[in-house]
Amino acid sequence: MSTRSLGPTGLDVHPVGLGCMGMSWGYAESQRDDEVSLAVIRQALDAGPVLLDTADAYGDGHNETLVGRALALAGRRHDAVVATKTGIVVDDLATRTLSRDGSPEHIRRSADASLKRLGVDVIDLYYLHRVDPAVPLQESWGALSELVRAGKVRHLGLSEVTREQAAAAHRVHPVAAVQSELSLWTREPLDPGTGISGWCAAHGAAFVPFAPLGRGFLTGRYTRPDDFEAGDFRATNPRFTGAAFTANLRITDAVRKVAARHDATAAQVALAWTLAQGGHVVPVPGTKQPRYLTDNLAAAALRLTAADLSDLDGAPAATGSRY
Ligand SMILES: NC(=O)c1ccc[n+]([C@@H]2O[C@H](COP(=O)([O-])OP(=O)(O)OC[C@H]3O[C@@H](n4cnc5c(N)ncnc54)[C@H](OP(=O)(O)O)[C@@H]3O)[C@@H](O)[C@H]2O)c1
């Protein structure tokens, strides 16, 4: 199995990780099943060092508890690579009302709560999920670096930050990874002037694309805007609704054409495109289904040609904003 080094952490991980969010949060609640989700996480643990991505906000602790249960069931607390996040507070789970809290007190408290839910002594990679505009980043990052000194966390990451924010944090404590949305329909992190992926490559940090499958859209699985149940984030998302949905199908068509050349799935092509953006890139596609995890992990072996990449890069830009 090929691996990629996760920034400066010394950890070698499968090139494709597993995003656990959808098992607890965000999409199609009627399709969530904890027992199947546990099987998916265990499948990832058996596939080698697959980066598991969770956060305390996903289901307000439910997702970390699920990951913790899978680690305990598999007896794999010590060799799993687990990333979680702090800094987003769930004010109301039913309506998914969120706020930010990057205060040192909140960070210390939530780290202890995450360790407990995950059932581990140390978190491999701990992200600040969002910068809190009410708290200077250096203050939040300082509190996070104290957690490293205390042995509760191994490495630190940031999510959805600018190059300037990453550089400011890096001066206080090394940034091991940055996580931002990157996929064929969200390419801003690759901007040569401002993109965060380039900053990561230049500073030895890993870049972790989230939603690399365009929240499922790029897999070609969805054909109509009303494919999403009430409460699913996509049911009201600008890219998945109305005329934007139809316009965006042209992106999926481009992915499908390349997939046909390789006898691969569209999901695999979408992931291989993110992997082709640099050796420092480790995407975390989300799934709660065993067959999709198998499909996604196999994308690491798919080699896109220069012509494939050119065709994919030439796919139309997305219609509609990300949120
Ligand atoms: N830092 C942040 O702010 C942030 C924000 C969003 C997400 N994330 C992280 O990134 C991870 C991935 O993002 P995401 O889950 O939002 O979006 P995603 O990975 O782009 O897409 C997930 C969707 O794709 C479907 N899918 C996965 N593999 C498939 C395959 N091979 N064939 C067909 N369909 C497939 C899933 O279906 P099923 O659910 O049916 O399996 C799900 O509906 C999350 O789990 C989370 O850990 C981080």
pLDDT for position 76? 87
Q: Does some domain include residue 142? A: yes
Contacts of 116 (CB under 8 A, 6+ apart): none
Q: Is the pLDDT of residue 1 over 80?
A: no
pLDDT digits (tens, 9 = 90+) for 103-128: 999 999 999 999 999 999 999 999 99
Pocket probe mutation, ligand 1, options 126, 210, 227, 322, max atoms within 8 Å of Cβ: 210
Torsion on CA atoms 320, 55, 28, 179, rounded to nearest 10 = 30
Count of positions (residues) in the chain: 323
Question: Alpha carbon 84 to chain centroid distance?
Answer: 10
Is residue 247 a part of any domain in this protein? no
Q: How far is the CA of 231 from the centre of ligand 1 (A)?
A: 16
Testing ligand 1's pocket by substitution, the residue of 128, 130, 287, 291 carrying the most ligand atoms inside 8 A of its CB is: 287
Q: Is residue 251 part of a domain?
A: no
Q: Give residues with Cβ within 8 angstroms of 165, minimum separation 6.
A: 131, 137, 158
Nearest to 234 by CA among 254, 206, 214, 252: 214
Structure tokens at 258: 């390349």
Atom 14 (ligand 1): residue with closest C-alpha? 211
pLDDT given at position 79: 82
What residue owns the CA closest to ligand 1's atom 38? 287
Write down the mean pLDDT value for the chain. 97
* Rounded Cα–Cα distance for residues 269 and 184 (Å): 10
Has residue 9 been placed in a domain? yes
Distance 142 CA to ligand 1 centre (A): 31
Handedness of CA 215, 221, 224, 229 (dihedral sign): negative
Pair 164, 145: CB distance under 8 Å: no
Domain count of the chain? 1
Give the residue numbers annotated as catalytic, written as ranges.
58
Please, what's the b/e burial string for 270-306 (b: 16 or more CB within 10 A of its CB; e: otherwise)?
A: bbbbbbbbeebbbbbbbbbeeebbebbbbbbebebee
Distance CA(272)–CA(187), nearest Å, equals 14
Among 136, 155, 216, smallest CA distance to 184 is for 216
Assess if residue 267 is contained within a domain.
no
Which atom in ligand 1 lies closest to the alpha carbon of residue 20? 45
pLDDT tens digit string along 34-86? 999 999 999 999 998 999 999 999 999 999 999 999 999 989 888 899 999 99
Within a domain: residue 68? yes
Q: Residue 132 belongs to a domain with what CATH number?
A: 3.20.20.100
The model's pTM: 0.98
Query: Cα of 186 to ligand 1 centre, how many Å?
Result: 14
The pLDDT tens digits for 73-105 are 989 888 899 999 999 999 999 888 999 999 999
**pLDDT score for 77:** 85
- Angle between helices 104-118 and 62-74 in degrees, nearest 10: 40
pLDDT digits (tens, 9 = 90+) for 143-175: 999 999 999 999 999 999 999 999 999 999 999
Which residues line ligand 1 at a C-beta cut-off of 6 Å? 19-22, 27, 31, 53, 159-160, 179, 210-216, 219, 221, 265, 267, 284-289, 292, 295-296
Q: Is residue 106 part of a domain?
A: yes
Is residue 183 in a domain? Answer: yes
Determine the structural domain holding residue 10 and report its residue range. 4-213+277-302
Distance CA 163, CA 191 (A): 11
Of the candidates 14, 8, 10, the one whose C-alpha atom is nearest the C-alpha of residue 294 is 14
